[in-house]
Amino acid sequence: MKHVLLLLALLLLFQCPARAEAPAGDEEIVLGMSAPFSGPSRALGIELYRGATAYFNHVNRNGGINGRTIRIQAYDDGYNPDPTVSNTIQLIERDRVLLLFQYFGTPTVTRILPVLKRYSDQNFVLLFPFSGAELLRTPPYSDQVFNLRGSYGQETKGLVDNFVRAGRKRIAVFYQVDAYGRSGVVGVRQALHDHGLNIVAEATYRRGAGVSDSMERQVEILARSRPDAIITIGAYAACSAFIRDARLNGLDSIPIASLSFAGKERQAELLAQESARQNKDLTQNLVFSHVFPFYGDQHLPAGREYHTVMTTSPVVLPANFDLKDYAPRQFSATSFEGFLNAKLLVHALRKVPPPITRTKVRDALESIKRFDLGINSNIEFGRDDHQGMDRIFYSTLKHGKIVPLNDWSVWAR
Amino acid sequence: MKLSRLFKKTLALFIALFAAVAVTISAFSAVFIYDQVLEEHKSKALAIAKSISSTSLDILLNKDATTIQSLIDQLLEIESISYVFYESVDREIIAHTFVPQVPGSVLDMTAAGNHREPDESGDVPEHTFSTILIPGQGSFLDISAPILSGAAGSIHVGMDLQSVKDLIWATISKLLLLTLAIFACSAVAAYFMVNRISRPLNQLTGYANSLAAHDFSAKLEIETNDEVGVLARNMKTMGGELKTMITGLENAVENATADLQDTLNFLTVVVDNIADGLLVSDSTGNIIQFNPQICRMLALPVESCTAKEIAELLGPNFPESIKLVMETSGKDLSLLSLNRNTSIRNVDYEIRRADGTTFPVEISLSVIQTHKGTHQVAVIRDVTRRKQAEQEQQRIQELLEQKVRDRTAELSEANLMLKEEITGRRAIEQALASEKDLLTTTLRSIGDGVITTDINGRIIMMNPVAEKLTGWTQNAARGKEFTMAYRTMSPVPISAGMSRQESATLLEKEAVLRSLDGREIHVAQSVSPILDGHNQVRGAVIVFRDITRQKKMEEEHRKSEKLSSLGLLAGGIAHDFNNILTAVLNNIALARLRTSYDETVSQNLSKAETAVSRAQKLANQLLTFSKGGAPIKEALSLEALVREAVDFTLQGSNVRCTAEIPEDLWPIEADRGQLVQVLDNLVINAVQSMPEGGEITVRARNVCIVEEAAIPLPSGNYVCIEVQDQGSGIPLENLDKIFDPYYTTKEQGSGLGLATTYSIIQNHHGHIEVESKVDVGTNFTLYLPALDHISCPDVPPADEEIVQGKGRILVMDDEASLRDLLKDALEFLGYTPVFARDGREALQLYGDAMQNNGTFDAVIMDLTIPGGMGGKEAIEKLMKMDPCSKVIVSSGYSQDPVMSRFRDYGFKEVLLKPYTIGEISTKLQNVLQG
């Protein structure tokens, strides 16, 4: 079935003649989104959607963009590349969306880049994908992608730099054996190279692994090289499983870091559950890198606004989301990212003189200079610069709570 | 159940064979499948590796690990691909899919790198296959495809060999399982089958053994339809037959013994009681047996018969034949070329009794060969009585033969008489038959209808004419009441009381016969009784003839007669009237020419002219009607003429006309003016019958009239013109009066229109008919004789124009007023007229003129001069004098044949009285210039 869909998608891709850019619909500004709304990574997709939609609802309630409302047309891809491609083609061909907005995941997003190339004549761009992959930030595809979040390279570099600075030079890597994982590994390796070091050990897992899966073999492989620190490049379920098995199998004191993609709230939640099950505190010595400041920081204007919007703009989730046994979290870093993405887009759209066209949106985005979303960081885009933010933030778990990490000296050697 | 040994062997062999086949197939399949699957995996992996190395070259060259990873990730979805990795040219694994890590054996393999070394020929091999073992995961087939001949590293695809083996084993297991299952089924089936075959065979064997031991009580219960069943049934039948046969044989022996005894007893009684004497002797001739009759015959006591020989007993004088037989007995019969049992029958002989008397006998002697030896059996019959009877019979027979001879002679005589009578009768019959044939042929050939009936008026015969007229066929009518087929107003009575006188005159009575199809036929009929030899009426003959046509002819004739008597009267008046009118008309014309156009005078003259014209027209109509206007015929084509006439008449009316005139219409010879008059009359009648307007249809067509047609015209080709209207129609009672002169239903009608029309058509030897239905319309049909093979120059008459000319014109007319008139007219026209009162004077003048070299340029002659030489006589003489003379005949009698065939008489033109100055001018011009 998956292949049939893919085939159909490809057929559509090659049969449809190039269409001139048309102004988007009169009533609504529709944005296309493909993300996991089912399966192990659904929490990230759903929260990303909630954050953005909450902000759009807030804007719509207050008059929209020159009277036009904004809506996200979202399709589930279950974090698999093939549905992502067919969803994209459907959004472009059938739904005629204005833009593609906050796609989720590296293996998925990297696969739609050729599709974007195919529709470059209609000026389709992908805004703020939830991926730090370098491929989205380098030619030839960087032209059609606008990134808000920092790259995995930036995240891994930050982690490596901080660990090395703390004297932890034997760094091992646990990663998802796919494009995302590879992208992270490359980042780690590059950062270590800069310090004249190399990865001491690598262990992999297959995408889709759950928290109940055993990662003992991976732990064993990495433990053999007696690492000082471990960087995990994976999804929250697998990373939680790995942390659990590492803590249970001798690697209980070295810091283990996770990238923003892993979703620290969900990870913290799972580890709390696993701690209870294993009767051991598994939440110690954890580092989370993230690309936005902590959403709970009430000193930040964006943090306050986020709280207001999330409390006052309830989001009705579409029926095609798998919400069985899922309890949406009122606040999360992921929904905060969605919120920020939406806010940046609204800012750009407000600069566009009607009628709104893709080219005009693109021009509006590229004209953004030193713009602060309320996170005490400037966003800047340009004709050849589609990377909005470069800062990386860190946090850790203290008594089961996520707190900003400012002091790395606890892990000094 | 015990299996037969034969079957046990077969079964064992079957199992062994099957096992061998199963093992062979399984082994072969295993090898084959292994090769196939491995080869398939190899080619699949190779294709993938090659496709990546060739299609994603730029990605690989970029060494972007993320994209490469993305690329190779997809391949893992392909079945039986276990791993993929990309090895850079410096033997570093850039991207891979191993979990949890790259196995050591893979690292060793890449570190060794020998697979990328150039081979002996110096080329880098395109791809390599190697098998590597990954601990804990099994062995894999590694397919490596170099990129850019190894310059950009290589792609490795790992195929799980274990899965190949699993596939093979699974397949073989399934195959073996299937084979075993089939084998098991077959074995069970074979066992039961063998059992089924072997059980009846064993039964058969037991049964056969019982039969051999003569135990017929044994049972055989096989009811199948196969060969064994058939065999069992046959054996059962055979056993039954055997039993019946043996029992039968035993009974037969028993019966035969009893029969033998009975026969012996019976024979003894027979022998003792037969009337013939019987002697049996042995080969030596000694009597061994005899019956009491022989003793009685020979009057010997029984005792004396026993010890004697046959010869002794019967005396020595046997006939030679008996002797011979007797001598043979006791000898070897085979040497004597005699049969085993030799006999001689009924030899006459005479025996002498013991008392010396003799009596005639017949001796039959048989020599019988039995296993006890040769015996002679002699049967002696006393034939004394028979001899006597034979003599008596001989006598009676002779008597009978004499009687038969006498009777035969009588019969021959009678036969001869009979033959003579038959010959006579046949001659009479032949005469009768030929007479009948003659009669039948006659009846069939005659033109009258003949019907014969029996005494009850039932039809016996109808001839073809009768069939045609009544519409009945003879077959249909035969046996029917005579009046059914022959339906007339006054039925003919047929009865036994008819007499000869009743129909003495043939075809005297007239009747109207109504035929089967409803036609009414006028017939003349007669009825005659058929009388037999005793003057008794046996039936009737009805003879009838179709006289419809005859009737019509008679009717027409009557009408013509009536009209011609009327016409004669009218014609006389019209002729004189015409002459008068001619004078009036011409005087008016002259007056007009000579007056100085005083308006009032001119008007008066015009009115006078109109009145005279009307009078002239009336006179002309009268003349025409009275046959006075004999048609001056010329060859005409009807088409233009009809259209012209009809269109002209219809001008200004609210009646439309449809003319259906075929192009190939035959030409006719007719008087143009009269024909126009006819059409005028008919069309005017039609228009007047449709005051509200309507449509007239004028049709013309060619018709061939044959003798039998109901139209009273001689057979030939005619042109038929129909004028049909949709008007008020003519009531039936008026229909036969419409052609009568002065009969009119119109207030202003002259009553001459249709009468004239009728007359014109009659004069043209044509026929006119009318059909009409009240409120539906009227249809007039004209028939005019067609002209054969003449194409008609259809030149309409030129308009009358007064043309002046020059020349001397001789005018001959007896009437002084006309001469005066013509003098004025001719002079006015520029001619020089000279006048003569009759033919004689005219010839005189013409002759004088010829002698003085001053001939006349033209002559106008009156056709008839009362009491003098008329034009008809004068022209003959004139033509002799001057064949080139140009003579115009003038007359008021247009019906005179000379007028219509004037050229035949030598005239060049015709002037019909009354004529106008214009006509004179035209005719003179025609003559002088022609």
Give the closest residue to A41 by CA, choosing from A133, A115, A88, A106: A106
pLDDT of residue A50: 95
What angle do the packed helices B839-851 and B871-881 form, to 10 degrees? 20
Q: CB B66 to CB A81 under 8 A?
A: no
Of the candidates B66, B96, B98, which has its C-beta nearest A135's C-beta?
Answer: B66
Instruction: Identify any residues that bridge with B145 across adjacent strands, giving them in sequence order.
Output: B155
Mean local confidence (pLDDT), B206-212: 83
By the 8 A CB rule, do B663 and B606 touch?
no
Give the closest residue to B98 by CA, choosing from B151, B41, B136, B42: B136
Q: CB B65 to CB A177 under 8 A?
A: no
Q: Using the Cα atoms of residue B18, residue B24, residue B25 and residue B30 in order, give the sign of their dihedral.
A: positive
Q: Does A245 touch chain B (CB under 8 A)?
A: no
Report d(CA A257, CA A405) in Å as an integer. 12
pLDDT in tens, B812-822: 888 887 888 88
- Residue of chain A whose alpha carbon sits nearest to that of B73: A178
Least confident of B32-46, B516-530, B645-659, B778-792: B778-792
> What type of residue is A129?
P
- Most trustworthy range by pLDDT among A364-378, B262-276, B357-371, B578-592: A364-378
DSSP string of A190-255, one letter each residue? HHHHHTT---SEEEEE-TT--TTS--HHHHHHHHHT--SEEEEES-HHHHHHHHHHHHHTT--SS-
Report helix, strand or coil for B360.
Answer: strand
Give the closest residue to B77 by CA, choosing from A206, A32, A184: A206
Report d(CA B660, CA B697) in Å as an integer. 7
Least confident of A22-26, B67-71, B403-407, B911-915: A22-26
- Residue of chain B whose alpha carbon sits nearest to that of A138: B64
pLDDT of residue A26: 57
What is residue A384's DSSP assignment? T
Distance, in angstroms, between B78 CA and closest chain A CA? 11
What burial class does residue A273 get, using C-beta atoms within 10 Å of its C-beta: 0-12 exposed, 13-18 middle, 19+ buried?
A: middle
pLDDT of residue B551: 79
pLDDT in tens, A121-133: 898 999 999 998 8
Report d(CA B354, CA B372) in Å as an integer. 32
Report d(CA B702, CA B787) in Å as an integer. 11
Report d(CA A135, CA A210) in Å as an integer. 27
- Residue of chain B whose alpha carbon sits nearest to that of A186: B65
Q: Is the pLDDT score of A23 beyond 60?
A: no
Give the closest residue to B871 by CA, choosing from B810, B805, B808, B806: B810
pLDDT of residue B333: 42
Reported confidence tier of residue B166, pLDDT bands at 50, 70, 90: confident
Reported confidence tier of residue A190, pLDDT bands at 50, 70, 90: very high
Q: Could you count the other beta carbons within 10 Å of the beta carbon of residue A169?
A: 18
Residue for token pair 């014309």: B589
Q: Is the pLDDT score of B686 beyond 80?
A: yes
pLDDT of residue A87: 95
Report d(CA B357, CA B351) in Å as an integer. 8
Rg (CA), chain A: 21
Tokens coding B193: 């089958």
Q: Is the pLDDT score of A19 beyond 50?
A: no
Q: CB B70 to CB A178 under 8 A?
A: yes
pLDDT of residue A225: 93
Q: What share of chain A is helix, strand, coil (3-state, %, to 5)?
A: 45, 15, 40
Residue for token pair 């004297």: A167
End-to-end CA distance of chain A: 54
pLDDT of residue B797: 43
pLDDT in tens, A74-96: 999 998 889 999 999 999 999 99
Q: Is the pLDDT score of B274 beyond 60?
A: yes
Q: Does A142 touch chain B (CB under 8 A)?
A: no
pLDDT of residue B335: 40
> What type of residue is B60?
L
Q: CB B100 to CB A110 under 8 A?
A: no
Q: Share the mean pLDDT of chain B.
A: 79
By the 8 A CB rule, do B140 and B83 touch?
yes
Strands A286-290 and A256-258: parallel
pLDDT of residue A17: 39
What burial class does residue A298 get, using C-beta atoms within 10 Å of its C-beta: 0-12 exposed, 13-18 middle, 19+ buried?
A: exposed
Give the closest residue to A312 by CA, choosing from A27, A54, A24, A28: A54
Report d(CA B700, CA B698) in Å as an integer. 7
Report helix, strand or coil for A76.
Answer: strand
Q: Is the pLDDT score of A189 beyond 90?
A: yes
- Most trustworthy range by pLDDT among B283-292, B321-330, B346-355, B691-700: B691-700
> What type of residue is B262?
D
Of the candidates B73, B96, B102, which has its C-beta nearest A179's C-beta?
Answer: B73
pLDDT in tens, B561-590: 776 676 667 766 777 777 788 788 888 877
Higher pLDDT, B319 or B838: B838
Mean local confidence (pLDDT), B87-105: 87
Mean local confidence (pLDDT), B348-362: 80
DSSP string of A101-158, one letter each residue? E--B-HHHHHHHHHHHHHTGGGT--EES-B---GGGGSTTTGGGEEB-SPPHHHHHHH
Size of interface A-B (CB pairs under 8 A): 60
> What type of residue is B98?
F
Reported confidence tier of residue B499, pLDDT bands at 50, 70, 90: low
CA A274 to chain centre: 24
pLDDT of residue B793: 42
- Residue of chain A whose alpha carbon sits nearest to that of B67: A179
Higher pLDDT, B190 or A242: A242
pLDDT of residue A32: 96
Give the closest residue to B756 by CA, choosing from B669, B670, B672, B680: B680
What burial class does residue B678 get, using C-beta atoms within 10 Å of its C-beta: 0-12 exposed, 13-18 middle, 19+ buried?
A: buried
Q: What share of chain B is helix, strand, coil (3-state, %, to 5)?
A: 50, 20, 30
Reported confidence tier of residue B748, pLDDT bands at 50, 70, 90: low
Tokens coding B770: 């009318």
Tokens coding B441: 């042929």
Q: CB A217 to CB B95 under 8 A?
A: no
Q: Is the pLDDT score of B427 beyond 80?
A: yes
Residue for token pair 């056969």: B208
pLDDT of residue B507: 57
Reported confidence tier of residue A240, pLDDT bands at 50, 70, 90: very high
Mean local confidence (pLDDT), A152-159: 92
Least confident of A383-397, B58-72, B315-329, B769-783: B315-329
pLDDT of residue B498: 61
Report d(CA B557, CA B565) in Å as an integer. 12
By the 8 A CB rule, do B369 and B284 touch?
no
By the 8 A CB rule, do A45 and A129 touch?
no
Chain A residue numbers with beta carbons less than 8 Å from the beta carbon of B68 are 182
Q: Could you count the other beta carbons within 10 Å of the beta carbon of residue B624?
A: 30
pLDDT of residue B708: 64
Which one of A84, A177, A183, A218 makes the best mutation probe of the B interface by having the most chain B beta carbons within 10 Å?
A177
pLDDT of residue B307: 64
Q: Is the pLDDT score of B338 beyond 60?
A: no
Strand segments (E) across B330-470: 342-352, 358-370, 373-382, 449-454, 459-462
Mean local confidence (pLDDT), B697-707: 84
Rg (CA), chain B: 72
Mean local confidence (pLDDT), B74-84: 84
Mean local confidence (pLDDT), B213-242: 81
Distance, in angstroms, between B67 CA and closest chain A CA? 6
Report d(CA B796, CA B793) in Å as an integer. 9
Chain B residue numbers with beta carbons less than 8 Å from the beta carbon of A176 are none
Report helix, strand or coil for B755.
Answer: helix
Mean local confidence (pLDDT), B461-485: 84
* pTM of this structure: 0.46
Q: Please, what's the largest Cα pairwise distance for chain A?
A: 62
- The enclosing H or E element of A339 equals helix A333-350
pLDDT of residue B384: 82
Higher pLDDT, B114 or B479: B479
Q: Is the pLDDT score of B709 beyond 70?
A: no
Q: Is A96 left (phi over 0), alpha (psi -120 to 50) or beta?
A: left
Report d(CA B787, CA B780) in Å as an integer. 22
By the 8 A CB rule, do A400 and A283 touch?
yes
Reported confidence tier of residue A241, pLDDT bands at 50, 70, 90: very high
Q: Does B65 touch chain A (CB under 8 A)?
A: yes
pLDDT of residue B151: 78
Report d(CA B418, CA A107) in Å as an integer. 140
Q: Does B66 touch chain A (CB under 8 A)?
A: yes
- Most trustworthy range by pLDDT among A344-358, B100-114, B361-375: A344-358
pLDDT in tens, B619-633: 776 766 665 556 777
Q: CB B65 to CB A181 under 8 A?
A: no
Report d(CA B459, CA B406) in Å as an integer. 58
C-beta pairs of A212-218 under 8 Å, 24+ apart in sequence: A212/A241, A213/A238, A213/A241, A214/A241, A214/A245, A215/A174, A215/A241, A215/A242, A215/A244, A215/A245, A215/A246, A216/A245, A216/A249, A217/B100, A218/A174, A218/A242, A218/A245, A218/B100, A218/B101
Higher pLDDT, B855 or A2: B855
